Structures are given as structure tokens and as C-alpha cells.
């Protein structure tokens, strides 16, 4: 099944060299402080949500031939935006947990802040759809979605997708297929605080490496034993992406800035050419392609970690300037709600695709206008719900970490992870 991927196997050995020096137990000046906000990370979130919307909407515009087919293949690769979210979440959450291990009320404060960030919008949507709409608009919600709503309430919707893919979550008007990634993150939040608390930095570093190594064969076995969807939706199969981010958080507390910059460059140099080769070999990075789910996921996670490390270590560099731009900053700030609404309204927005294709005539114009339209609608919905999110985020002041109060910098706190986690309200 995985014949023809020798370059990817070789990349694994190259990756081992790129991280080998950082697995030593020596300590150096820590360069990461989770109480300091790095705006460029919001820019990375903006890129991530843009990629996700590109795959969900861009694929609805059928290509003509030639160059348009390769652009369409790029659109199909936009799912990797979720992997970028996962790396960011692993990095930010682990950093916060490491820096607050000695705080009184470690678990209580962490979970209270998570609830205030995640639950209001998420459960507000579920209440509106499954409680409000049946009363206000009977028959609007499909019976199939109604019967499976328990998986959404419990944050285990990815379990349905493991065998059946996204289709069970697509109704005639609303769609919940994208909630699988929120489920994986929530499952990660349930056990990771205990792991970080008990392990400490050095043991946690070894554990992250073990999770990264184990995930690859686990995806291969899941593909054979469960089905083609399992490597994409099963939490243990995606744990390496979160573990890469967590490993970066540990590294930054044990190694100097120069060492981290060198490591980030090596990670990108080792993985980017392999990903490019995989893209042209497979006609795009298709997320249910067994070669991509096997080796591609590992390469993407390592590459995104390299990018994250460089962005964090040299945020003021010239190539980071677009990440500080108003467009990506705003998109990243509202990306959690944008993610929720873009998928929820996906089926309805798909209905406009043919009209854009017929009106624009040209594939590239139709693609650009349609993606901007769908993204604009999703972003507008996110802005409308922002006051609710801000009101809940302000309640975090009742659960400030002791270490941040001592540093007198609670309002400068980095985002606490999560898909689209915005900067805290001032």
C-alpha cells in the first residue's frame, strides 16, 4: 500500500538528525513565556482558517483543465489548515500548563478557562439548532442529525466519522462534519493537563517523541483494520500533530534561541521538499490517500512545527510581516467562530457555487469570488457573535494563574490554544 514512498522514509531519518541535539537533558536560557502575546501566532491562525475555507469552498468550483486542475489540487490540500491548528494548540496549551504547574488550583483554573473559551459558542450553536429551531422551524433539522446529536453534545462526533466519514453530519440545510476537530482538541484537553503535571519537562519531551513515533504505524494499522477514514478522524492517529506542538513548547524551555532557530530551519528543510514531491506524485495532498495519511501527516506536522518555531523565535523578521498585517490578524482573531459558522452553513453556501461559476465564466475569477463570498459570510457571523465571546472571556479574570499575577501581565496572555483561539479581551 505504501510502495513508492522511499523519499518519505528517508525524511524520517533526516528528521531524527534535526531533533537529535534537542533531546539532550541540558538546560539553557528559556526563550518562551506563555504570559507574553505574540501577534504573529494570530497571523498563523489566519492562514489556517483560510486554508480550511479554501478546501471546503474552493473544491465546489470545478476546474477546466491544465493550470486550473493544479489550483484545484491546491484547494484539496487546504485540510492541512486543521493540522496547523493542532500544532498551535499543542504548543500553546503545553506552554501554559508547564508554566503554571506550581499554581494552586492548577486543574480548576485550566478547565474553567477552557470552559469559558469553548463552551459558550459551541453549546450556544447546539442549543439554537437542536432546541430552538425545532420549535421555531419544525422540519428544518434532518432526523438523521437529530438522532446523532448526542455525539456532538459529548464532544465525540469524530467517532461517527471514523467509519462513515463526513456524510452522516451533513443535513439538507446545516452541517456538523467539521466539529470532529473540535472533538479531538477537547479530548486532548481532558488528559493532557494530568500528563504535563505528572511528567515534568524532560519526561514530557520523551513522551512527545514516543507519541510522534507511534502515530505513524498506528495510522497504517487503522487504515487496514478500520477503514480509510480512521487515520484522519481517530484521536490517537492525530496525536502526533498535537505532540509536535507540545514538543516545541518543551524545547523552548530547555534550549537557546539560536538552537531553536537552527532546529526550525532544519525541520522545514527536511520536510518541505518531501511534501512538494508528495504533492506532485499523488496529484495533491488528499487527506484520505493512504500514503498521505501515513507519511504526509507526519511530514506536515514536522514542517508546521518548524514554521511555528521560526515565527516565535524571530517574529519581527521581514518574512513574518504578512502575519502582522490587518487581514491575517483579524482573520486569526475571529477564527474560532469563523470555523464554527463556515462549516455549519457549508451546505447552504454550496448552493451558490454554480451561480458564481456561470456568472464569472473564468475558473480563477469564479474561485476567488466564491471563496471570498463564503469566507465573508462566515466571518460576518463570527463578528456578530463576538460580543458573547468577549463577555465570557472577561470572566477569565476570576481564574488568573498565580504566576501571571506575579508577573503583572494577565492581559498580555497568549491565546490558550484551540482552533481559532483569539487574543484575550483587554
Give me the pLDDT at residue 217, please.
96
Give me the pLDDT at residue 136, please.
86
Give 287-328 pLDDT, tens digit per residue: 899 999 999 999 999 999 999 999 999 888 888 999 999 999
Q: Where are the domains of the chain?
A: 6-21+29-412
**Residue ranges in the chain whose pLDDT is less than 50:** 1-9, 12, 19, 21-30, 407-420, 422-426
Alpha carbon 162 to chain centroid, angstroms: 18
What the block records as the C-alpha cell of 347 is 451546505
Q: Cell 442529525: give the residue.
A: 145
d(CA 360, CA 400): 52
d(CA 219, CA 228): 10
Q: Which of 314, 312, 318 is nearest to 41 (CA)?
A: 312
Give me the pLDDT at residue 412, please.
37
Give me the pLDDT at residue 65, please.
78
Q: Which of 379, 382, 387 is nearest to 337 (CA)?
A: 382
Beta bridge partners, 175, equal: 170
Give me the pLDDT at residue 140, please.
78
Give me the pLDDT at residue 28, please.
39
Exposure letters 71-105 (e unless 16+ CB within 10 A, then b): bbbbbbbbbbbbbbbbbbbbbbbbbbbbbbbebee
Other beta carbons within 10 angstroms of residue 399's beta carbon come to: 16
Other beta carbons within 10 angstroms of residue 229's beta carbon come to: 22
Amino acid at each position: 500500500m505504501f510502495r513508492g514512498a522511499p523519499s518519505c522514509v528517508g525524511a524520517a531519518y533526516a528528521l531524527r538528525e534535526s531533533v537529535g541535539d534537542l533531546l539532550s537533558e541540558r538546560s539553557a536560557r528559556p526563550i518562551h513565556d506563555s504570559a507574553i502575546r505574540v501577534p504573529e501566532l494570530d497571523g498563523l491562525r489566519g492562514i489556517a482558517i483560510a486554508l480550511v475555507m479554501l478546501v471546503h469552498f474552493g473544491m465546489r468550483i470545478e476546474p477546466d483543465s491544465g493550470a486550473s486542475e493544479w489550483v484545484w489540487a491546491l484547494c484539496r490540500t487546504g485540510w492541512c489548515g486543521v493540522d496547523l491548528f493542532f500544532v498551535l494548540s499543542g504548543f500553546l496549551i503545553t506552554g501554559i500548563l508547564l508554566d503554571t504547574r506550581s499554581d494552586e488550583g492548577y486543574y480548576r483554573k485550566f478547565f474553567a478557562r477552557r470552559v469559558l473559551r469553548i463552551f459558550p459558542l459551541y453549546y450556544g450553536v447546539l442549543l439554537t439548532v437542536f432546541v430552538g429551531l425545532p420549535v421555531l422551524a419544525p422540519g428544518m433539522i434532518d432526523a438523521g442529525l437529530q438522532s446523532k446529536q448526542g455525539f456532538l453534545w459529548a464532544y465525540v462526533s469524530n467517532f461517527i466519522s471514523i467509519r462513515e466519514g463526513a456524510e452522516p453530519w451533513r443535513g439538507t440545510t446545516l452541517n456538523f462534519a467539521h466539529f470532529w476537530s473540535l472533538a479531538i482538541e477537547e479530548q486532548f484537553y481532558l488528559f493532557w493537563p494530568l500528563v504535563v503535571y505528572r511528567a515534568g519537562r524532560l519526561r514530557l519531551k520523551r513522551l512527545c517523541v514516543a507519541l510522534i513515533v507511534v502515530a505513524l504505524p498506528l495510522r497504517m494499522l487503522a487504515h487496514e483494520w478500520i477503514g480509510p477514514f480512521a487515520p484522519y478522524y481517530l484521536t490517537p492517529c492525530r496525536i502526533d500533530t498535537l505532540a509536535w506542538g507540545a514538543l516545541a513548547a518543551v524545547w523552548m524551555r530547555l534550549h537557546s534561541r539560536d538552537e531553536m532557530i537552527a532546529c526550525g530551519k532544519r525541520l522545514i528543510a527536511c520536510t518541505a521538499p518531501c511534501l512538494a514531491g508528495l504533492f506532485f506524485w499523488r496529484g495533491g495532498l488528499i487527506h484520505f490517500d493512504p500514503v498521505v495519511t501515513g507519511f504526509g501527516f507526519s511530514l506536515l506536522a514536522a514542517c508546521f512545527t518548524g514554521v511555528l518555531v521560526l515565527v516565535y523565535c524571530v517574529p519581527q523578521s521581514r518574512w513574518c510581516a504578512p502575519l502582522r498585517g490587518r487581514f491575517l490578524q483579524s482573520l486569526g482573531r475571529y477564527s474560532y467562530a469563523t470555523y464554527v459558522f463556515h462549516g455549519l452553513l457549508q451546505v447552504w453556501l454550496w448552493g451558490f457555487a454554480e451561480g458564481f461559476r456561470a456568472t464569472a465564466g473564468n475558473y480563477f475569477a469564479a474561485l476567488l469570488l466564491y471563496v471570498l463570498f463564503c469566507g465573508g459570510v462566515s466571518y460576518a457571523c463570527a463578528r456578530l457573535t463576538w460580543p458573547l465571546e468577549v463577555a465570557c472571556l472577561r470572566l477569565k479574570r476570576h481564574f488568573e494563574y498565580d504566576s501571571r499575577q506575579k508577573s503583572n501581565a494577565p492581559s498580555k496572555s497568549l491565546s490558550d490554544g484551540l482552533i481559532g483561539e483569539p487574543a484575550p479581551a483587554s
